[in-house]
Structure 1
Amino acid sequence: MDNHVEEAPTESLTENRKTQFLLTVVPSSSFGTESGAAVDVHGTPKSPFMTRIMMAADSPVLKAVRSMRMYLEEVGLPKLNPQEAWLPITESRNGNAYYAAFHTLSSGIGIPALLLPIAFTALGWIWGIFSLCLAFIWQLYTLWLLIQLHEPIPGAAVRYSRYLQLSMAAFGEKKGKLMALFPIMYLSGGTCVTLIIIGGGTLKIFFDVICGGAASCDNLHHRLSTLEWYIVFTCAAILLAQHPNLNSIAGVSLIGAFSAVTFCTLIWVVSVLKDRPAGVTYGLLPDSTISEVGRFRKVLNALGIIAFAFRGHNLVLEIQGTMPSSSLKPSRVPMWKGVKFSYLIIGMCLFPLAIGGYWSYGQLVPSEGGMLIALVKYHKQDTSRLILGLASLLIVVHSLMSFQIYAMVVFDNLEMRYTSRKQKACPWWVRTGLRLLFGGFGLFISVAVPFLPSLAGLIGGVALPVTMAYPCLMWVMMKKPDRFNGMWWFNWGLGGFGILLSVLVLCGAIWTIVADGIDVHFFKPR
């Protein structure tokens, strides 16, 4: 990815060109020469006769232009970067706090939240709640840091609308790419693959629940395999992915946010209201069942699951990049408003889901699928098919909508490479082809590695630095606070602890896979 610096936008490209025209046609050094003769736009002196006419006729105009120039310099004069107007992330600059809330909710809450009760089976009540609270506060602080770093120097008209750009600016081009490129692409592309697996698999569950043994559904249901449901989901996702830019999917994100909040609330409410299954136990497993070493690796894996539940940090700069900004009205103000509102809703969903889910099922929570599988497994007989089917359908809808915002980062990266080579915007057929190519590749990976969602702990370890560690380190590098003061120590300590925790979580996830094994079934979706 080319390291280009994004400049401050205005309401439209036309207004930018008008402003730049005024400042280049009438620069401050060309209002007159030492001899008092006026000059034209090319610096060529005019005749004394023309000088007198210009001085008499245009002097008020020149004063007005000069005043406008001083004002634009005061608020931060934008410099045009044509490539930014060609890319999906920054093509449109009319975002606001509402759009930010929709995008943040759609990307910040989802299927990983259903796995939170699994983390409580290893951590227990006290440490589970403490870890969840700590992770929530920690990631909210790093979100605030990223929003501040989007425009690190007020009035400088420099914006970092992509996480990778900020990483390269903070750590250097080579080191920044090395540290952030793989986790970001893994979190974007890997999340899309996971959404195909979960969305396609949940479609199959939806028809299982709704149709049951009805003869009218037998033909359709038995004709479509899991692979074919993956294809159905991918086709729908690619069709929705034809939106040109991030702002254009604000309505899609609103639907995704609503469906996510609804299915989370529906699942934990039904689980709590229904009778608990027989044999529910809480707390840690007895010592005779598991060794201390085994308990430790399960704790690390549980921390990875909690870290994976708080996602979307790789998108916050991109969302903020869709907003207009100036030194008088910086984008961080509406962005922070949208984030605060969205995370209030996220907290109201995640905490009841984790606590209520663990209370309802305890150690019986399935290790694969979490709350959704538990609901179907233990309450299929005493819960109406309408409620179970609605929960499954909402998960499918959210997966479709969430796919769009995570895929937009990949589309932006692909189109950036094209525009850097061709020095022009992508034609519609190239843009469509890139989206089709990515959708086909995601489908292939989902079929080849259909057990990817079971690697939640491992994915959480990869995501943890992007969420918890890098923002603290980048703040120190970009803001350069006084050494050894409170913020310097706090961010270095938090960033270093985040890196250490990431290494431990990765080791614990790999250790768990090696020790307990995993149901590996390449090219065999189930």
Structure 2
Amino acid sequence: MGEISSPASTAISAPPSPLPDSAPRTPRSPLASRLMTPIVSPMKKAITSVHGYLEEVGQFTKLDPQDAWLPITESRNGNAYYSAFHTLSSGIGVQALVLPLAFTTLGWTWGIICLLLVFIWQLYTLWLLIQLHESESGTRYSRYLRLSMAAFGGTCVILVMIGGGTLKTFFEIVCGASETCNVTRLTTVEWYLVFICAAVVLAQLPNLNSIAGVSLIGAITAVSYCTIIWVVSVIKDRPVGVSYEPVKEISDVATIFSILNSLGIIAFAFRGHNLVLEVQGTMPSTAKKPSRIPMWRGVKFAYLIIAMCLFPLAIGGYSAYGNLANDIYDAYCQMPGNEGMFDALHKYHNHDTSKVLLGLTSLFVVISSLSSFQIFAMPVFDNLEFKYTSKYNKPCPWWLRSGIRVFFGSVEFFISAALPFLRNLAALIGGIALPITLAYPCFMWIHIRKPTTYSAIWGLNWALGILGMVLSILAVIGATWSLATMGIEFHFFKAQ
């Protein structure tokens, strides 16, 4: 049913005002103001008050009761700060530590150009999604096409592997050599279990706004470990044998496939893009203060910080290790315990870097992974609870909500233990996910906003959308070729 919404409850359309200025007005006689003022004044004040309230709130809106029952939209008190925290925490990850590998094929010039173009492109499509969040009908699109179950579930598996593997590294740094440490050492799978237990405990926080503090901590730790890794890599002496000549392939076809594989790696570095609608859905929205304003303000700040992390990682990492990044990538393909520049830091600078600094870096990676897990898991929780609320037309009881989150954590742990090679498919996953970041938002804009045919915005979005789809196909082909030629061990239930 239509009803007047509060500013914090839902969003906004702007139907004709109850008292439009252009509407015909009833003529008033010269005596009306004197004879009728005592009676009319209270009513006039009430109407004026309601009119002002409607202008501030924005509209009559059609409310969906389910929104108040689901983790993403049950709290609508988000702001630009929360937007920045969530965007930073979800937008920076260890996949960025593999960026120097793309430069080994592309070289300095094309590597920087491609990284910059993809950054600007995905920032543009992010702006499109923010603008599309609120429709003229008053509907708020607070979920990204209901793709959450597949897209975010897979991301959480990778985070379990990264977090659990890095926990193992942290323990080994703190404990020292096995000869001097008498503490029982856990296997990699057991470290996965430790990580998922911590993640499930944090996952009991009810909704996306309630984890804003967790996202802030995750953002700080992500920026910290990225900065530590590239700064230490740059200021330390370069390893012997560093070269900056682009890798020579055995044929022109091999060179093309390597370039495409590099583009997939760059695309994979920009994660979290498809969370923007969920984050914006936690914000209040009115006609005068639509949610897109604070959302874009927070995103601009977050992506400034993200750029200050990703570009130094890529450029500084390639400067420090050059084509030796290929050796790291071979290890990355064959040994699921490694994360690009994080592994390079331990391989080349373990002897001349403080153990405290190495341990702190590992701890920051773990904390950042725990935080990111909460953000990427929340849309999955929202989907699962949506099925219950749709069927029974009531919110999930607390015990069921907790049970859903424990069940999800158990599934993620099982997949992580059973399929440890999944994390080695960075370029392939980047190619597959590329349309979500670079293509689909352009097509959404054309379909929903319906710009004038052959206008500049129409042509730009069609061009970027089609180019994004073509690049996705080519990147998948390139990644598949690279895996086939370099080789990868598909071992099950054997996490190393």
- Select 2:228's aligned residue among 263, 266, 273: 266
1:384–1:157 CA distance, 2 compared to 1 (3 A): same
Counterpart in the other structure of 1:327: 287
- Select 1:373's aligned residue among 335, 338, 343: 343
Counterpart in the other structure of 2:422: 452
- Select 1:311's aligned residue among 271, 284, 294: 271
- Select 1:96's aligned residue among 66, 76, 79: 79
Counterpart in the other structure of 1:78: 61
Counterpart in the other structure of 1:343: 303
Counterpart in the other structure of 1:353: 313
Report the alpha carbon displacement of residue 61 of structure 1 after superposing the two structures with TM: 5.8
Counterpart in the other structure of 2:26: none
Alignment of 1:427-438 (within 5 A): 427-438=397-408
Indicate the percent of aligned positions where both proteins have the same amino acid.
60
**2:150 counterpart of 1:150:** no
Q: Which digits, 9 at most, give the CA deviation of each residue in 1:435-462, with x for residues without a partner? A: 0000000000001111111100111012
- Select 2:6's aligned residue among 10, 15, 20: 10
- Select 1:514's aligned residue among 479, 484, 494: 484
Counterpart in the other structure of 1:408: 378
C-alpha RMSD of the superposition: 2.3
Unaligned runs of 5+ in 1: 1-5, 17-26, 29-54, 166-180
Report the alpha carbon displacement of residue 78 of structure 1 after superposing the two structures with TM: 3.0
The DSSP-based 3-state class of the residue aligned with 2:215 is helix
CA distance in 2, matches of 1:68, 1:304: 56
Counterpart in the other structure of 1:492: 462
Counterpart in the other structure of 1:236: 198
- Select 2:439's aligned residue among 460, 469, 481: 469
Which amino acid in structure 1 is aligned with residue 269 of structure 2?
A
**2:160 counterpart of 1:160:** no
Which amino acid in structure 1 is aligned with residue 469 of structure 2?
I
Counterpart in the other structure of 1:292: 252
The DSSP-based 3-state class of the residue aligned with 1:426 is coil
**2:159 counterpart of 1:195:** yes
Q: Give the TM-score normalised by structure 2.
A: 0.89
* Alpha-carbon contact 2:128-2:442 (below 8 Å) kept: yes
CA distance in 2, matches of 1:58, 1:147: 48
| Equivalent pairs, count | 461
- Select 1:386's aligned residue among 356, 363, 366: 356
- Select 1:208's aligned residue among 172, 175, 180: 172
* Alpha-carbon contact 1:125-1:283 (below 8 Å) kept: no
Counterpart in the other structure of 1:478: 448
The DSSP-based 3-state class of the residue aligned with 1:78 is strand
Counterpart in the other structure of 1:120: 103
* Alpha-carbon contact 1:192-1:406 (below 8 Å) kept: yes
Unaligned runs of 5+ in 2: 12-17, 20-35, 333-338
**2:247 counterpart of 1:282:** no
1:433–1:160 CA distance, 2 compared to 1 (3 A): same
CA distance in 2, matches of 1:451, 1:216: 32
Report the alpha carbon displacement of residue 463 of structure 1 after superposing the two structures with TM: 1.5
Report the alpha carbon displacement of residue 121 of structure 1 after superposing the two structures with TM: 1.3
CA distance in 2, matches of 1:524, 1:413: 31
The DSSP-based 3-state class of the residue aligned with 2:184 is helix
Which amino acid in structure 2 is aligned with residue 500 of structure 1?
V
* Alpha-carbon contact 1:88-1:244 (below 8 Å) kept: yes
CA distance in 2, matches of 1:311, 1:408: 16
- Select 1:253's aligned residue among 199, 215, 226: 215
